[in-house]
């Protein structure tokens, strides 16, 4: 869809952009979309304000992952929209450093099962080996857990790392009991935030609904080939490479519970008041990763939010009115919007007891 004249000083609204994945999930996303018969399927993710194409071998002729967005009453391809005025949408300093890539990918992820054991290349590895400016450090912000799940968890980092030769054997033999024995379950609950650095092996437990903030690639190496009856094609296991490539990507450090709490769990910074009753806090800053930043605004009264760069935003609790550019938007829980770098400050007023916005930013 060609970009013609895009209104300025307006929010960019981010409708659902469901993406096919190798694992089942998405019933929660169906419910949010008011589907008459919500169910789990392979459309387990919603890519939010994305310019990243999903990699799904066997579906190469289907373009998935690029967002379609709304400004006013007009619809746009998000890539074309950003290209129409990069300095306005992304900021001139960002464009000077990174070009027209937002350097950010945000998704809803709704798991029906435990996901594959896997890891992603680090930023340094991606630059050195893959000729890519981004690897795939990612963060999890937990939103909810299904009612029938009594022990929501993630696996993150080896607690009992296998030697390289043993890991190779485990992957070739698909000995998942031996692989799972290398990990401890890390309990999670709504409101938790974790950073998963590139190279760190991990898996998300079943029944978890979350926001995933990550570098803008779909790079992944899987230790596990089959989940829920779907067998990964060979090209999708090791990014088209061999098992030795996996060994070169994975971090085999021993991460104990204290390490996870100190290095991977993200705790909110001190409150920065933006009105008598509303405040902002940082969940992920440069201390955790140079790859992206995450803040959170708690709205309890009328307040002003100002930024000098773009952001992808998700209302994670309550309802609020957001006024900018002479227009007021009424936003509900799980509504999503993009704020261009050139947008004036936002006027926020909670219309429920309280409301909360998760705000995802590019690297500094």
pLDDT at residue 258, rounded to an integer? 93
Start-end of CATH 2.60.120.10 domains in the chain: 12-264, 272-361
Local structure of 80: helix, strand or coil: helix
CATH number of 12-264: 2.60.120.10
CA distance 238 to 223: 8
DSSP conformation class of 192: -
User: Residue 2: what pLDDT?
Assistant: 46
Residue 132 CA from chain centroid, whole number: 19
Closest CA to 195 of 125, 266, 114, 285: 266
Give the Cα separation of 135 and 237 in Å (integer).
17
Terminal Cα-to-Cα distance of the chain (whole angstroms): 31
Q: Which helix (H) or strand (E) holds 176?
A: helix 176-180
pLDDT on residue 59: 85
| Tokens matching residue 135 | 């690897």
pLDDT of residue 58: 80
CATH number, span 272-361: 2.60.120.10
pTM reported for the whole predicted model: 0.96
pLDDT by 10s per residue, the chain, length 364 = 444 567 788 999 999 999 999 999 999 999 999 999 999 999 999 999 999 999 887 887 888 999 999 998 899 999 999 999 999 999 999 999 999 999 999 999 999 999 999 999 999 999 999 999 999 999 999 999 999 999 999 999 999 999 999 999 999 999 999 999 999 999 999 999 999 999 999 999 999 999 999 999 999 999 999 999 999 999 999 999 999 999 999 999 999 999 999 999 999 999 999 999 999 999 999 999 999 999 999 999 999 999 999 999 999 999 999 999 999 999 999 999 999 999 999 999 999 989 999 999 999 8
User: Both tokens of residue 153?
Assistant: 């968890």
Burial of 170 from C-beta contacts in 10 A (0-12 / 13-18 / 19+): buried
Query: With contact defined as beta carbons under 8 Å apart, do 140 and 154 qualify?
Result: yes
pLDDT in tens, 217-256: 999 999 999 999 999 999 999 999 999 999 999 999 999 9
User: How many residues make up the chain in this entry?
Assistant: 364
Q: Write down the pLDDT at residue 5.
A: 67
**What's phi and psi for 235, nearest 5 deg?**
-65, -20
Residues with Cβ within 8 Å of 118's Cβ and at least 6 positions away in sequence, in order, are 201, 202, 203, 220, 221, 222, 223, 224
């Amino acid at each position: 869809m060609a970009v013609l004249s895009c209104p300025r000083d307006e929010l960019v609204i981010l409708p659902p952009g469901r993406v096919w994945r190798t694992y089942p999930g998405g019933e929660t996303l169906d419910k949010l979309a008011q589907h008459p018969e919500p169910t789990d399927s392979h459309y387990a993710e919603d890519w939010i304000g994305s310019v990243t194409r999903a990699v799904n071998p066997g579906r190469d002729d289907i373009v998935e992952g690029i967002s379609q967005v709304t400004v006013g009453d007009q619809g746009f391809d998000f890539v074309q929209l950003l290209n129409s005025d990069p300095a306005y949408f992304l900021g001139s300093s960002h464009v000077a450093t990174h070009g027209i890539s937002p350097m950010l990918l945000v998704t809803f992820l709704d798991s029906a099962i435990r996901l594959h054991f896997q890891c992603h290349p680090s930023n340094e590895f991606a630059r050195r080996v893959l000729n890519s400016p981004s690897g795939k450090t990612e963060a999890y912000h937990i939103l909810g857990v299904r009612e029938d799940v009594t022990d929501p968890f993630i696996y993150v980092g080896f607690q009992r790392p296998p030697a390289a030769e043993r890991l190779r054997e485990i992957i070739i033999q698909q000995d998942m009991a031996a692989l799972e024995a290398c990990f401890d379950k890390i309990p999670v609950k709504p409101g938790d935030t974790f950073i998963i650095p590139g190279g760190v092996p991990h898996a998300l437990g079943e029944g978890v609904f979350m926001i995933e903030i990550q570098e803008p690639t779909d790079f992944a190496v899987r230790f596990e080939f089959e989940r829920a009856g779907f067998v990964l094609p060979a090209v999708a296991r090791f990014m088209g490479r061999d098992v030795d490539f996996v060994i070169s990507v994975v971090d085999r450090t021993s991460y104990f519970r204290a390490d996870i709490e100190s290095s991977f769990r993200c705790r909110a910074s001190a409150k920065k008041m933006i009105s008598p009753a509303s405040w902002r806090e940082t969940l992920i800053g440069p201390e955790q990763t140079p790859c992206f930043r995450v803040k959170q605004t708690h709205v309890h009264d009328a307040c002003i939010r100002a930024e000098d760069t773009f952001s992808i935003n998700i209302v994670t609790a309550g309802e609020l009115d957001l006024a900018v550019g002479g227009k007021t938007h009424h936003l509900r829980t799980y509504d999503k919007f993009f704020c261009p770098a050139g947008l004036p400050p936002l006027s926020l007023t909670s219309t429920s007891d309280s409301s909360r916005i998760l705000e995802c930013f590019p690297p500094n």
